[in-house]
Amino acid sequence: METKTNSQTLSVGVIGTGSMGTRHALNLHRAVGSARVAAVYDLDQVRARHVAGMCGGALVFDDPERLINDPRVNAVMIVSPDDTHARLTLACLQAGKPVLSEKPLATSVEDAVRLLEAEVALGQRLVSVGFMRRFDPQHVAVKTTVTDGTLGRPLLFKGVHRNASVPYGTTGETILINSAGHDFDSARWLLGEEVHEVFVRGLRSRADLHPDTKDLLLIEMALTNDSLADVEVYVNADYGYEVSAEVVCQHGSAITTLADNVLVRSEAQRAHPISKDWLARFQNAYVLEVAEWIESIQERRPFRGANTWDGYMTMLITGSCIESFHSCTVKSLNVPPKPALYQ
Ligand code: ISE
């Protein structure tokens, strides 16, 4: 049953209905009055039908490209596995439809270049990338503080990124592509500079992990305007999910505060609860992100979050980090000039 339809309502197709895709579909369905989930696709058709039902009876597709090209779909969210993002985003560009791709935009530098070139050739910004921290109120407060200039020039980004656990055998490359990409984006966004050099070192945190696993990574980056970044990504932290971002400036520093707003006093302790995963920690950010994306399409203006250039730069940094991780050497990036489309 359709719940919200009028001539202004944007019909969105959601590709991928795993936990993240379901969350995006429900956020769109429940929190964005001017759009509706019109279509869904998932390789698991039972799961797709279930989510379609929860979203008021969306159409269920058995092929993602058919969903993208269907005239009843105005815009697309890509929330399928990481290695499908680039191909499906390119299909959206070819169909001339706005697309919000979950991060990473691509899983290889070559694919990221292809997307950047395709969008530049089109001369129109259709691609948005789901770096949701840019909408998280705590991160936005740090950004606002740093950009208002009272703390002086930003010098150093310090990031902490901890997952409770990841599947056995998760590789350093996967951690760099799937998790650390957020921190690369945060460093660039909060410092307002581009990364030009990286160095990565890792360790295995416990003997019962796969022998080749390195699940705690330390990443150092040099950015333009003589600024630096240092990031810990630890994906088997066990106790919960936590992200923090600090920017050290010439006359002070700004750091994200506790996101879980309650202080609990119990059993002779004062404690703040910690989220179990990113879906809980960043729920507000996901809603703000999808609402802004819809508004940007309806107002025919660029999305205020990350664009193809940001997705491309993240993959360029990730590629150099993978090389550094394997060779244990410092890697320099070859950053091309930013195309006028993204200025
Ligand atoms: C996951 O895919 C996310 O996007 C989360 O935000 C991130 O913190 C986590 O490490 C990733 O695995």
Q: Residue 201: its pLDDT value, please? A: 98
The rounded percent of the chain whose pLDDT value lies above 70 is 97
As a whole number of angstroms, the distance between CA 248 and CA 191 comes to 10
In ligand 1, the atom with minimum distance to the C-alpha of 241 is: 8
* pTM for the structure as a whole: 0.96
Q: Residue 306: its pLDDT value, please? A: 98
pLDDT (tens digit per residue) in 84-116: 999 999 999 999 999 999 999 999 999 999 999
Closest residue to atom 10 of ligand 1, CA basis:
179
Taking 3-state DSSP, the helix, strand and coil percentages for the chain, each rounded to the nearest 5, stand at: 40, 25, 35
As a whole number of angstroms, the distance between CA 219 and CA 208 comes to 24
- Three-state secondary structure along 265-287? EECCEEECCCCCCHHHHCHHHHH
pLDDT (tens digit per residue) in 258-313: 766 788 999 999 999 999 999 999 999 999 999 999 999 999 999 999 999 999 99
pLDDT higher than threshold 70 for residue 194 = yes
Closest residue to atom 2 of ligand 1, CA basis:
178
pLDDT higher than threshold 50 for residue 191 = yes
pLDDT category of residue 1 using cuts at 50, 70 and 90:
very low
Instruction: Return the best residue to mutate from 80, 85, 162, 178 for the ligand 1 pocket (most ligand atoms within 8 A of CB).
Output: 178
Partners of 316 in the β-ladder: none
Alpha helix positions (H), 123-196:
137-147, 172-174, 181-191
pLDDT higher than threshold 60 for residue 3 = no
Closest residue to atom 3 of ligand 1, CA basis:
179
pLDDT higher than threshold 50 for residue 52 = yes
As a whole number of angstroms, the distance between CA 116 and CA 258 comes to 36
In ligand 1, the atom with minimum distance to the C-alpha of 161 is: 8
